[in-house]
Structure 1
């Protein structure tokens, strides 16, 4: 019985060793990140005012940004910040607090002009599998749709 278990374990290890490894995406892989963003709607890569990369995209007609943060030489970035601000949508603080109390994965706030804003962060210092990054964009898509409804945009 021990021999069969050993053989079975060895075969599994060999099978896993030969399996193709998923590509790890880091924040400096702007093309891969942009490709995933485009799977959810129009998106383009632009530069922030400081020269770091930024994606500006649309999901279901709503414009958002993905900021690349903690960058060295505008390329070696560590984090992504998903951001959406609704100009002239000024919900109450109670509405914002209700979002933050009942939702996960994002944080909402009123900006300096009291406009509704929402953000979500992703640490890519050690990279993530493309499927994980795609799942994050799908969460962001859901956050946008739900938050727009929550604050009365739709």
Structure 2
């Protein structure tokens, strides 16, 4: 019976040891320093970090270069290039849309009595009929004969 009590005491002390270890782990997590930097960040620092991450992963040309820049002059240079490109893009799109919706009709009439030089012989090589196929049909052969006779 004494052994049973000792076992119970050992099992109780084991459970209290595991509870103590569990409590130590909880205290260690609560006192951990990795989350202190995140908790102390201001709204400005969070916004700056989010904009920087967006800039690095952005697919617009120039924005990742601006986000990777380490000095203010390079950031300013990329910003100016980006703004100029955006303004030119909007300007050209506006001109194109205005031109499209103006529905311009261009008519160029040239009513001159000037003499035009035309070639004396023109070859047209797009005849879809073969002479042998036309001669194989008697009606078309007769029509071809009449045509040749009228040219003479």
Q: Which category of TM-score, normalised to the shorter sequence, fits these structures?
A: under 0.3
TM-score in terms of structure 2 length: 0.23
Higher radius of gyration, 1 or 2: 2
Higher helix share: 2
The structure with higher relative contact order (CA 8 Å, sep 6+) is: 1
Higher strand share: 1
